[in-house]
Chain A
């Protein structure tokens, strides 16, 4: 484009601090005292220092009966059994793959936890081991579920259902894991024309909705047909909306993403990334979500 837009830096005013929020939410920084009452049990993100409970991470204090823990805003992913994650293969080793999932240690995907093409169930043989690279290579993206967590915190994944497996064409958005809301299902087909996988580890995968559910593939055959322009625009818009929600620290789930998408339709896709537009559409999204709660 010939016309260029020039923006000058200026101190931004904070928007709407008066919005209805969960009242009495305590935010702490590392080193802040949470309580001097010794009757509480300490959970994650806290430590006992000189007769008082001190926070070790920056986040919100959560209290369940006698347990106090601090949920950090920006953190690495801590695996829980049953979580859906989106990860990238970093290494191919003997009988297993190492997957990067934004956690402290690389996650592990064992060959025996991977479903073979066609969905057959059999013992993995030496040929399977040699053919590992045909299934997944370094740099491939996969969706998987957490099977178990090792004692050192490393996570073991499995793709034993046909809805998991290698991911094809789409857009990956990396956010902090604490912004992804825990829900019953993390695979959503949005009515605006794209599908999204909200990984609990903060990796969000946006892809065009597949035409028919092909059960045969089992997640290995990547569809490399060109995606239409309309679908690509929807996916770009969704990605920018998710970035807007992340900047304004709103929880990510299918309803919030959908409302944000609808609020952004009046703007051009590239304008959504401007700070003032972000504030506007997220404000609208917040209001709609508040109404929804009633």
Chain B
């Protein structure tokens, strides 16, 4: 299915926000989204979440004959799939440009950097080697697939255990996991990709673009680096012209980010190893139930509540003072007193439904009543008294007022401020005896 095109307003809004150094989710220009790594029960299975982008990685191995020109090296095979589950724009079975680009980048990052020792994957030179296959599936696309995919790939490879084997002459014995513990792969270093999105011909730069930002970006720069500050791959796409100091600055940022992410990965691997050693429960069943909507648990949303007090005080100062309360009760007899005068009986006339009143309680408690508005209400009320048609229904709720259309334009043209509208409702809440206007 073709992607719905972004409207001009949205594009302009995003670009203007970026010019003012603001991002839609409140991050700073160089901030990454939250990275979460969770493991499955099998070795080599993991899910990486970068914000809302989710990638599932699975590693498997097989004994095959080696390539003829590389008789003593194992074979590494990477495959990234964009399933329609990730985004309606992805179609099953179609080789899109994006897919080819991502696959090539992943291969260059992981294979050419020699992060996995392929010599150690050799069993019998020229005859049998291990073929390690890394399958990555994109589960949800919210921008920056390449970063999430590279993290998933390297985490899955670090987590994976291959069966132990012994070679006696011509015989190869492959031990099952019950007979001998499976052996981890030998990994030299962990290359991680970091993406930079450029806007307005390279003037503005954002790290870890989200899906909306990717749609309006001019170009993308991807740098793959490990924690020893060695650059494994660097690719610039989109046809933007980058200056030398921009690229150097990006590489410095990459160094910082990669160090953070590597630490996070190490911690996650360590935790998982501990849990498995103690025989505790591991796997997706443990981590996923926490994401139910009825769990009443959410990620911390960054809300700026620093100046709440000052704003509240400002509002209180600017608002009009509350109505005078009649503090003098008139005592008729011991036990019976009257406060205030009240208005005439409004039973038998039309009133708004109960529901309308309940929501008013949810309203902003900071707004205060406006005495002037009350006077207006009363005058208009008297005009609409007897002309309305009365509709009787069997429902438990009170009747609904039906107004003639001519009366409406008078009210709608006057610009109503939110305070006045609120106050009319607040008035109706607090003084039920008075007839309310159902505007």
Contact = CB atoms under 8 A, between A and B. Distances in A.
B418 interface: yes
Interface stretch (B88-96, B238-246, B267-275, B404-412): B404-412
Given A2-B366, A287-B391, A277 B359 contact: yes
A139 B4 CA distance: 11
Given A276-B359, A288-B402, A191 B409 contact: yes
Interface of B: 2, 4-8, 11, 293-294, 296, 303, 305, 307-309, 311-312, 315, 352-353, 355-356, 359, 362, 364-366, 391, 393, 400, 402-403, 405, 408-409, 411-413, 415, 418, 421-422, 425, 438-439
A139 B413 CA distance: 33
A100 B4 contact: yes
Contact of B408 (A100, A140, A234, A262): A262
12 contacts: A2-B307, A2-B312, A2-B366, A139-B5, A139-B8, A139-B11, A262-B405, A266-B425, A266-B439, A267-B359, A274-B359, A284-B400
Nearest to B422: A268
Contacts of B4: 100
A90 B2 CA distance: 11
Given A2-B315, A4-B303, A88-B5, A9 B415 contact: no
B7 to A, nearest CB: 7
Nearest to B312: A2
A14 interface: no
A230 B439 contact: no
A234 B412 contact: yes
Nearest to B11: A139
A64 interface: no
Given A2-B312, A268-B422, A287-B391, A191 B355 contact: no
B421 A268 contact: yes
B358 to A, nearest CB: 8
Contacts of A224: none
A274 B365 CA distance: 18
Given A2-B366, A266-B438, A291 B353 contact: no
Contacts of B293: 9
A139 B216 CA distance: 13
B400 A287 contact: yes
A140 B315 CA distance: 42
Nearest to A5: B362
Nearest to B406: A191
A287 B294 CA distance: 35
Nearest to B418: A268
Interface string A1-15: 111110011000000
A173 interface: no
A83 interface: no
A284 B364 CA distance: 25
Nearest to A229: B415
